[in-house]
Amino acid sequence: MKTIGIGIVGGGYMGKAHAVAMSSVGAIFNTALRPRLEMVAATSLESAERYRDAYGFARAAKDWQELVNDPKVEAVVIASTQDTHRPIAEAAFALGKPVLCEKPLAETVEDARAMTAAAEASGVANMVGFNYARTPATQYARQLIAEGVLGEINWFRCEHTEDFLADPETPYSWRCNGRGTGNMGDLAPHPINAAMALMGPIARVNAVCETTIKTRPGGEVTNDDHAQIMCRFENGVMGHIYSSRVATGRKMGYVYEIFGTKGAIRFDQEDQNALWLYQAEGPEAQRGFRKILMGPEHPDYKPFCLGPGHGTGYQDQIIIEAKDFLTAIETGTPVWPTFRDGLAVSEVVEAVFDSSQSGQWVEVKR
């Protein structure tokens, strides 16, 4: 069996998720290429050793440079802070090593552009970690749209709402300062990516970003709490995107609703194993939104379970992502979302910031 040495930079929330995914993806998907947990890097060697021990890596690196340069590390997963994404990715691509980079690709569109150029120059597999779009339900929604089941689409709405900063008494933290850690930097890329995954490129936006809780115990909040975006897709469809970290009560409010001339789709990731589909066919008296439970008939479900309705969860999204990354490496065929797709998200974020400042419609620049 062919194996590949994986190095993961970052051992926190996402680093762990990727380590777990790399541990189990082979058994689940019976992948041609099997990951070996070769090396982990963190902010200190001490942390890296702790992660090595906990997640089962062979070795710990003293810094990301050591990891990237290690000959046994054949592919790199970047799960460290946004400001480190660019140098790590560029170093890995320079050595011809495939990269799976956590979202968002970078804090600025310039960085994202440079990283995309490096990825494409290297010609190796490159991917961005928009895991939420990998649920069987969202993959199936993409398929239904592509097959024309909704007819001509006339409206797209999505949101990503959480409430981790909804309480004004939650103290000031690193999340409260800096463009990359605000709502637009952290949360909004998810629904923007969803919008483009489902509907194609966004042509222009008219948006408002704002800070609703300006002072917290310990400091002034300088980045945005929530944002709304009216958008026009390149295919002419009108849409709306909302994201918030102050949406009291919402925990994983990754929601979309799409209306077309023949049907409609609704999805709420708080019940990620169901997709709601309405079809304008059959007797009027029998029509209604259908709650379709994910099962072996839907994309990437069967390897997890042969029984429908038994459910997949958050960690499984990362496992699907790992499978796709391995497939991209193995086959040499790019798998969505590539760095270029990640760049497209950054370009929309940039336009949103511009529009929020000017109060005008702004074209998304490529």
Closest approach of Cβ 290 to its own copies, in Å?
4
For its own copies, the binding residues in 256-285 under the rule CB under 8 A are 259-264, 269-274, 277-280, 283-285
For its own copies, the binding residues in 51-70 under the rule CB under 8 A are 53-56
- Residue of 148, 219, 313, 332 that binds its own copies (CB under 8 A): 313
By CB under 8 A, tell whether 244 contacts its own copies.
yes
- Residue of 72, 214, 290, 365 that binds its own copies (CB under 8 A): 290
Closest approach of Cβ 162 to its own copies, in Å?
7
Return the number of the residue (59 or 226) whose C-beta is nearest its own copies: 226
Place of tokens 């998810």: 190
CA distance 50 to 70: 19
Peptide bond into 98 cis (omega under 30): no
By CB under 8 A, tell whether 213 contacts its own copies.
yes
By CB under 8 A, tell whether 289 contacts its own copies.
yes
Residues 128 and 337: beta-carbon distance below 8 Å: yes
CA distance 242 to 198: 16
Site string for its own copies, 168-187 (x = CB under 8 A): x-------------------
CA distance 18 to 10: 10
How far from chain centre, in Å, is Cα 43? 23
By CB under 8 A, tell whether 24 contacts its own copies.
yes
- Residue of 126, 206, 223, 338 that binds its own copies (CB under 8 A): 206
CA distance 209 to 188: 11
CA distance 166 to 310: 32
By CB under 8 A, tell whether 250 contacts its own copies.
yes
* Both tokens assigned to 227: 């944002």
For its own copies, the binding residues in 99-138 under the rule CB under 8 A are none
Q: Which stretch binds its own copies (CB under 8 A): 119-127, 240-248, 330-338, 344-352?
A: 240-248
CB neighbour class for 1 (10 Å; exposed up to 12, middle 13-18, buried from 19): exposed
